[in-house]
Amino acid sequence: MTDWRAWHRDYDDPGSDLSRRRRSVQASIEAWLDSRDDETLTVASACSGDGRDLLGVLARRPDAGRVRARLLELDDVLAGEAERYAAACGLDRVDVRRADAGRTASYAGTVPADLVMMCGVFGNVTDDDLRRTVATLPRLCSPGATVLWTRGRFREGDLTSTIRGWFAEEGFDEVSFDAPDDTSYRVGAQRLARDPEPLGPDETFFTFTR
């Protein structure tokens, strides 16, 4: 299995694909925040690691107080880093949970969310679980919610065109898709264009394989 703490060290290199991916994800979060004038916004972030994708944006925004976020991360060290960073930045509406992001029960109390982050998930599950996850997302979303996701380009091919098609089948419109030719990452943003669904009973919709 992947050593996720070691994996995060690539963020120390500002020129790495991982650092570039984070900047792309953060640009999408900034654009989403700028597009919403709601007094309160809810974010659910799956497999959030140290949380910097989201927390780094909130830490520099004067309107961070309108965002209530739940970060789901099973690794205790990474979850602790997210908690310390959030506390140091005064982000007191951030809730870090050491919980399995692949179970719907982990989202109870924070969904339906206005932004659902699936960053670092789609490249670490089977294709069947990925398809199941896309089909589950309307159960995590509020009306008009945005889903932000990432996926790498692997030796066996680039599945992102298929993933984008799955989102369309589930009633999402594409907001943006960032896929630079000189990198391995892809970052997508999709907006739910149909009615959401109730969360329903607890079930597992993905399991990490890497």
Domains of the chain, residue spans = 4-192
Percent of all residues in the chain with a pLDDT value above 90, rounded to a whole number: 82
60 phi, psi to nearest 5 deg: -110, 10
Going across the sheet that includes 41-45, the strands are 94-97, 67-72, 41-45, 113-118, 141-152, 185-192, 172-178
Question: What Rg value do the Cα atoms of the chain yield, rounded?
Answer: 16
Alpha carbons 184 and 158: distance in angstroms, whole number = 9
| Distances, alpha carbon 187 to alpha carbons 25, 45, 137, 154, in Å | 7, 15, 17, 14
Query: What pTM did the predictor assign?
Result: 0.93
Residue at token pair 């907006």: 191
Q: What is the structure's pLDDT at 209?
A: 82
**CATH assignment of 4-192, among 3.20.20.70, 3.30.470.20, 3.30.465.10, 3.40.50.150:** 3.40.50.150
Residues of the chain with pLDDT under 50: none
Q: What is the structure's pLDDT at 153?
A: 74
Mean pLDDT of the chain: 92
